[in-house]
Amino acid sequence: MVSVCVTTYNGEKHIEEQLRSILSQLGDTDEVIISDDGSDDHTLSIIHNIADSRVSIYHNTGKKGVIHNVENALGKAKGDYIFLSDQDDVWLPTKVACSLKGLQEAPLVVSDCYVTDDDLQIVHDSFFAVNRSKQNKYLALLKNPYLGCCMAFHRSLLELVLPFPDHIPMHDIWIGNVAAFRRSTKFLPDKLIYYRRHGNNVTTTSEKSKNGFIDKVIFRMHVLKNLLIKR
């Protein structure tokens, strides 16, 4: 069983396109978990109108922010294989099949993707190339290669990553590093989504970080500290 965890907040512009690209690849017993962080636009009505029994919507009590919205979605997932998804990307038709194949070799996979603008015009042909992503767990502490919307992992990782510790820089950095240091990861060269970048994104991955050097050091210290605690 596959669980796709989608976090939403005022995503009315692209949510239908994204959900249809996901649902077209899922089986009858798979599920899509929507964790909504208090949308006040038409996001939820659009999802309801899709009228697919595989989609379940959960509402946060109070605005949690992106990290804890992801945590809420993961806590609801029942699948053996868990995929993370943004609300505004588009999955390519081989996303699920290719990821599941990779998950036979490692408990967490990260695929490449096309980086696009708001209209899905390709800005960068490869996220791995523009981010200089490397499958090296030590280098990954310095330059994060773990892009949540390109990740899928075994359910067994949930007991290692949940609950999320305080002060982690982002959920995908935490999940990726836990998998790398406690289990193993596999990077897939296949480009499996259109990764849409626009003014309303909640993360800045693929763009120059606005965090200063001291902030980056502190973030990494928190990750390392919590990795040690999780032993």
Helices (H), the chain: 15-23, 43-50, 66-76, 95-102, 127-131, 158-161, 171-182, 213-229
Rounded Cα distance between 71 and 138, Å, is 25
Nearest to 111 by CA among 80, 150, 156: 150
Q: Name all domains of the chain by residue range, CATH numbers in brackets.
A: 2-229 (3.90.550.10)
Per-residue pLDDT tens listing for the chain (231 residues)? 999 999 999 999 999 999 999 999 999 999 999 999 999 999 999 999 999 999 999 998 778 899 999 999 999 999 999 999 999 999 999 999 999 999 999 999 999 999 999 999 999 999 999 999 999 998 888 889 999 999 999 999 999 999 999 888 899 999 999 999 999 999 999 999 999 998 655 444 545 545 555 555 555 565 666 666 655
